[in-house]
Each structure stands twice: as structure tokens, then as C-alpha cells.
Amino acid sequence: MTSFSTEQSLQQLAERLRRISPMLAEELEIEELILYPSVKRKINKEGLKPYSAYTPERVPQERI
């Protein structure tokens, strides 16, 4: 779930994985938060703030 990570931390993760095995970095799956009503309530309840997220009607086609 990359929505709770900064771009910098994601790049650091990919670099660490690449040092272990280039294939691990290539296979890193990016999954972003979709703010369905129940999800939005839960993250608000916990005081979480995602760096990136989509509303259900705005998910880019390439993410489906």
C-alpha cells in the first residue's frame, strides 16, 4: 500500500530491493488507496492521512 509512503521512501525501498535482487525491484507492485466510503471512515477514525489516494470514480484505467 503505497498511499501511506512518500515518493522518497518508495524510491529507497526500490533501491534496497534492487541491491538484494534486481528482479525484486522489477516485481514491486504499486497499490494505491481507493477511498470507498467505508475505507474513508476507517482511515479518518484512525487519524491517518494518505499521501495519495483515488475516489472510486477517478481510479486511472491503468490501475484497474
Domain span including residue 30: 2-63
pLDDT of residue 37: 96
Q: Which three cell numbers stand for residue 49?
A: 492521512
Closest CA to 51 of 9, 11, 7, 3: 3
Map grid coordinates 514491486 to a residue. 28
The domain tally of the chain equals 1
Map grid coordinates 497499490 to a residue. 31
Q: What is the pLDDT of residues 39-59, one digit of tens each?
A: 999 999 999 999 999 999 999
Percent share of the chain, pLDDT over 70: 100
pLDDT of residue 61: 84
pLDDT of residue 1: 81
Banded pLDDT at 64 (limits 50, 70, 90): confident
